Amino acid sequence: MHQTVYEAFRQSFAVAPNNPYFCVPVGAPHLPEGLEWTYAQVGGMVDRLVDAYRAAGYGPGHRVALLLESRPDHFVHVLALNALGVSQVPVNPDYRVDELRYLLEHSDADLLVCRSHLMELGTKAAQLVSRRPALVDVDAWPDTLPSVQRAARGEAPSSDTEAALLYTSGTTGRPKACIVTNEHLLLFAKWYIDFGLERGSYFKLQYDVERLMNPLPVYHVAAGALCFVTMTLMRGCFIMPGRFSASRWWKDVVSTRATLLHYIGLVPAALLKQPVSQLERAHEVKWGLGAGIEPSIHAAFEERFGFPNIEVWGMTEIAAFMADDHEPRKVGQRAFGRPIRDFEARIVDDDDRDVPVGTPGQLLVRRSGPNPRRGFFAGYLNDPDATETAWRDGWLHTGDIAYRDADDMFYFVDRKKNIIRRSGENIAAGEIEAVLQADEAVAYVAVVAAPDELRQEEVFACVVPRQGVAAGSDLAEQLFELCFEKLAYYKAPGWLLFLESLPLTDTQKVRKPSIFEPGIDPRTLPGVYDFRDRKQQKR
């Protein structure tokens, strides 16, 4: 296997320089003219960036934060940094100043590379960091980069070199950073490719042929790692349409000749609501891959659009996934596959004891053999306790609730973690609670997930005002605006409800399962404020 992602790219470049590597559909909001770059074109861009970063002193031990949105040049920088052993830290462009400040501080980034229209955000955040990173405008690239202020480690990039810090929402508010090595990224892509070797699997990838389209952002592991590296190894093309648009979807799929599609639960639901179009059956798609499709629409989607949507389970921490990719599939049952080869999984209770078939419990995973952590993340940055807690007794505790049947098929139930899953975004309830709790008008607050027919889940804030503070529309408006200004737009409450009290434990923690009676849909309660239409990305 290759030692680095860059090495894999160089081999594909050498074998197939004229193959298309990145594609943006014509009419994409962020690049209306579209583009298609070959491996040779990208290779020239990467070489120039390698020279620039090397001249500024970058090497192993350095980290560069990339605030470049979901555009192909993000990966040009990723490849150049990987060539030098520099770790990339992809940044969510919807972050507010304090969120970006935290990421820069926590990652100890040496440089922040921004798009021009995000430079103000980057500048404000960087000024608040104790070891302030240098800033560069990618749209006005300088002749020389600012010299890095600390020396690189004297070593050649290898499979064990940190290749990326991928931030994933935690349960205590602030995101945790998964340390991801070259081995992790390459094994993850190889896992996808090798699925095709399984008898009866849908995943039969072809070298020099595949064109994979994924609307997810590059700071997500699916687009930023799995899809990008898989297409690199397969000498394929990664299609980047930008933010998902149901009205534009089939036009983009057909015009870019996509053969593979990745989705989140929002995508199938939105596409089924679109008027019937000739384009929806004019595609070359072999399968869709994703998680979270609403079970009640799964079969209807496949019948209408003519290809299977394969449900999978995975997480940033692991270089593998499970997939319901063999017939007969469990369509509409939240099945996500069986463990294969050296990947092991089990379901346990709160004491880590195995539970019987059909009983929900926490999903644990590992690699078989002498090294159960092989290919998994190298740890959570600056948090060895969290790393070891997740890995207790030699199994990675995923925090997801699932069950298995007698045939060893696994089914997703819910998340044990205090996470809200909205349109593919993992939102830590504790982060929103911290913002609301800081307002002087708030005595107690609990943020929970409410069901949402379009976005899978929506943020639902339960607020107990301080004594003497009037609950009403003015306060609801004030609290929504507070969250909207402090947090990424999708984290603000979509629903807000004032309550007289919240059920508390003896240690004054909110007992969230006891807030509402079983079977109650909190969205239907009197006095609920609906802010969903206000949750729009700032332009």
Contact by Cβ (8 Å): 162, 180: yes
Rg (CA), the chain: 23
Structure tokens, 168: 């994933």
Q: pLDDT band for position 80 (50/70/90)?
A: very high
Structure tokens, 468: 């003497």
pLDDT at 36: 98
Taking CB atoms within 8 Å and a gap of at least 24, the contacts of 127-136 are 128/97, 128/98, 128/101, 129/101, 129/104, 129/105, 130/105, 133/65, 133/104, 133/109, 134/110, 135/111, 136/111, 136/112
- Superfamily classification of domain 426-534: ANL, C-terminal domain (3.30.300.30)
pLDDT at 171: 43
Q: What is the pLDDT of residues 267-323, one digit of tens each?
A: 898 899 899 999 999 999 999 999 988 888 999 999 999 999 999 999 999 999 999
71 or 172, greater pLDDT: 71
Q: Is 357 helix (H, G, I), strand (E, B) or coil?
A: coil
pLDDT at 170 over 70: no
Say how far apart CA 494 and CA 513 lie, in whole Å: 19
pLDDT at 507 over 60: no
Residue 357 phi/psi, 5-degree rounding, is -55, 135
Contact by Cβ (8 Å): 17, 43: yes
Q: What is the pLDDT of residues 246-278, one digit of tens each?
A: 999 999 999 999 999 999 888 898 899 899 999
Whether cis (ω within 30° of 0) applies to the bond prior to 93 is no
What percentage of the chain carries pLDDT values higher than 90? Answer: 83
Mean pLDDT of the chain: 93
> CATH for 5-147+156-402?
3.40.50.12780
The predicted model gives 392-413 an average pLDDT of 94
DSSP code of residue 280: G
The predicted model gives 66-93 an average pLDDT of 97
The predicted model gives 513-533 an average pLDDT of 93
DSSP 10-76: HHHHHH-TTSEEEEE-TTBTTBTT-EEEEHHHHHHHHHHHHHHHHHTT--TT-EEEEE--SSHHHHH
Contact by Cβ (8 Å): 373, 364: no
Q: pLDDT band for position 525 (50/70/90)?
A: very high
pLDDT at 415 over 80: no
Residues in contact with 353: Cβ distance below 8 Å, sequence separation at least 6, in sequence order? none
pLDDT at 42 over 60: yes
Per domain, the residue ranges of the chain are 5-147+156-402, 426-534
pLDDT at 47 over 60: yes
Contact by Cβ (8 Å): 212, 290: no
